[in-house]
């Protein structure tokens, strides 16, 4: 019965062209990457990863991983509260605390296995029966799932609609109020108006939880993320950063007021009931964070910004010739080319694929109906020549879809 049921549901997915496929990469994460069954193994020019600084296959970090494994072993052996919390984990937390000290007074940090886990921890431990969670409708799936699991009341506001949020805050009767937002939205690349959100938090005795998965490493002069970008400081800020995107490794952290961190340690089930991150990985994260704020990190951010400018100039010229297409308002590594209907997005993605370029098409429900798009992501590992190749291929594809 189960298998028949599943097979029936799978056929429905096929019929709606929503069946997804796991593709196996045959080479490390890099601008040129080969996939099983694609182009006979010849590498594709890929604009799809979140490896914004090009650190995922950086030789110095691979070396740090080997060194960490030799020094600490490969496994932590237990959850954090038993015996899995090792010196490399504590070192990462100390470094993150230094990064956030200018933004959150007495900031403390807690390292976790993934951003998904960290968001479940925040939503469920802070979002108890005394709380209301105020969530932007375009928040990441992990924040949405965390809100579903939480005992708190949940209010959602249209993307960036701070007037709606303000009315919801004013009408709220629960003692604890938590505003929850992506700092950089994952499908659009736009940055939340964090200064205005913090003002609202202060005016309504609320706290601001921000998910900086796409800002950490990319934004701010030292790569410390959106809080550095906006130069914000408040004890009401709770920042979640992920370590598998720009940082090129894996894991996540929360930086916040000491009482918030202590409560997560006591109550966050997704932190308590999971084996601590491998100490070799934590050791690598330490090397990655050091690299992000080094001169090399700065150069990588500057190169990335140059590529973003080049791509946007080129895309704008294309969009100007094609009524109905728009370029998202984004200054980050995520650059959406919004074409509207699903068919066009798929066709465009396929046309690029024929030219050896991989840019994924994003369709509902991942993005709102009528805003299907190519989600182009850039990395500091790309060259200006590769960005030009993408623009040329898009111009040809545009000719074909006229």
Residues comprising the binding site for pyridoxal 5'-phosphate? 115-116, 186, 214, 242
Binding piece for ligand PLP, criterion CB under 6 A, among 8-16, 23-31, 210-218, 303-311: 210-218
Q: Which of 85, 89, 224, 245 is catalytic?
A: 245
Q: Which is nearer to ligand PLP, 361 or 393 (CB)?
A: 361
- Determine how many CB atoms are found less than 10 A away from the CB of residue 248: 26
Lookup result for tokens 């805003």: 371
Q: Which is nearer to ligand PLP, 213 or 289 (CB)?
A: 213
Q: Is 218 in the site for ligand PLP (CB under 6 A)?
A: no
Write the DSSP string, 146-160.
Answer: HHHHSSSEEEEE-TT
Cα end-to-end distance, the chain, whole Å: 48
Residues that bind ligand PLP (rule: CB under 6 A) add up to a total of 14
Q: Which is nearer to ligand PLP, 54 or 251 (CB)?
A: 251
Q: Of residues 213, 291, 319, 338, which one binds ligand PLP by CB under 6 A?
A: 213
Contact code string over 107-136 relative to ligand PLP, x by CB under 6 A: -------xxx--x-----------------
How would you class 95 by CB atoms within 10 Å of its CB: exposed for 0-12, middle for 13-18, buried for 19 or more? middle
Q: Which is nearer to ligand PLP, 97 or 211 (CB)?
A: 211
Q: Which is nearer to ligand PLP, 244 or 314 (CB)?
A: 244
87-100 vs 59-72: helix crossing angle, rounded to 10:
130
Q: Is 242 in the site for ligand PLP (CB under 6 A)?
A: yes
Please state the residue numbers annotated as binding site. 20, 115-116, 140, 186, 214, 242, 366
Instruction: Check residue 84 and report its DSSP letter.
Output: I
Q: Is 142 in the site for ligand PLP (CB under 6 A)?
A: yes
Q: Is 186 in the site for ligand PLP (CB under 6 A)?
A: yes
Active site (annotated) includes residue 159: no
Active site (annotated) includes residue 186: yes
How would you class 144 by CB atoms within 10 Å of its CB: exposed for 0-12, middle for 13-18, buried for 19 or more? middle
Question: How far is the C-alpha of 128 from the C-alpha of 267, rounded, in Å?
Answer: 11
Q: Which of 214, 224, 229, 283 is catalytic?
A: 214
Contact 202, 236 (CB under 8 A): yes
The number of CA neighbours under 13 Å toward the Cβ of 88 is: 28
Question: How far is the C-alpha of 336 from the C-alpha of 211, rounded, in Å?
Answer: 20
The set of catalytic residues is 186, 214, 245
- Which residues of this protein are in contact with ligand PLP, per CB under 6 A? 114-116, 119, 140, 142, 182, 186, 211, 213-214, 242, 244, 252
């Amino acid at each position: 019965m189960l298998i028949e049921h599943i097979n029936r549901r799978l056929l429905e997915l096929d019929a709606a062209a929503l069946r997804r496929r796991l593709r196996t990469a045959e080479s490390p994460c890099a601008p040129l990457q080969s996939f099983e069954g694609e182009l006979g193994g010849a590498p594709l020019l890929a604009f799809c990863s979140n490896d914004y600084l090009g650190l995922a296959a950086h030789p110095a970090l691979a070396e740090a991983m080997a060194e960490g494994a030799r020094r600490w072993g490969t496994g932590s052996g237990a959850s954090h509260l038993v015996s899995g919390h090792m010196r490399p984990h504590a070192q990462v937390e100390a470094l993150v605390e230094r990064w956030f000290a200018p933004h959150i007074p007495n900031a403390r940090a807690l390292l976790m296995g993934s951003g998904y886990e960290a968001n479940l921890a925040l939503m469920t431990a802070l979002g108890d029966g005394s709380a209301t969670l105020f969530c932007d409708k375009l928040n990441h799936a992990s924040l949405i799932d965390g809100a579903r699991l939480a005992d708190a009341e949940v209010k959602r506001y249209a993307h960036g609609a701070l007037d709606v949020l303000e009315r919801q805050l004013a009408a709220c009767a629960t003692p604890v109020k938590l505003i929850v937002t992506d700092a950089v939205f994952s499908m659009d690349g736009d940055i939340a108006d964090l200064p205005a959100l913090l003002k609202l938090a202060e005016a309504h005795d609320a706290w601001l939880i921000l998910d900086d998965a796409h800002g950490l490493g990319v934004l701010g002069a030292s790569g410390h993320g959106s809080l550095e970008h906006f130069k914000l400081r408040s004890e009401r800020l709770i920042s979640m950063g992920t370590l598998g995107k720009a940082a090129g490794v894996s894991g996540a952290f929360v930086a916040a007021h000491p009482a918030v961190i202590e409560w997560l340690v006591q109550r966050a089930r997704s932190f308590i009931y999971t084996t601590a991150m491998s100490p070799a990985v934590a050791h690598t994260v330490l090397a990655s964070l050091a690299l992000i704020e080094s001169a090399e990190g700065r150069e990588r951010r500057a190169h990335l910004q140059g590529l973003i400018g080049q791509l946007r100039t080129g895309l704008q010229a294309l969009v100007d010739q094609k009524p109905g297409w728009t370029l998202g308002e984004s200054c980050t590594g995520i650059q959406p080319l919004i074409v509207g209907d699903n068919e066009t997005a798929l066709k465009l993605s396929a046309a690029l694929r024929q030219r050896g370029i991989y840019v994924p098409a994003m369709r509902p429900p991942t993005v709102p109906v009528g805003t299907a798009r190519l989600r182009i992501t850039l990395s500091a590992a790309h060259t200006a020549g590769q960005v030009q190749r993408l623009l040329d291929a898009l111009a040809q594809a545009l000719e074909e879809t006229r």
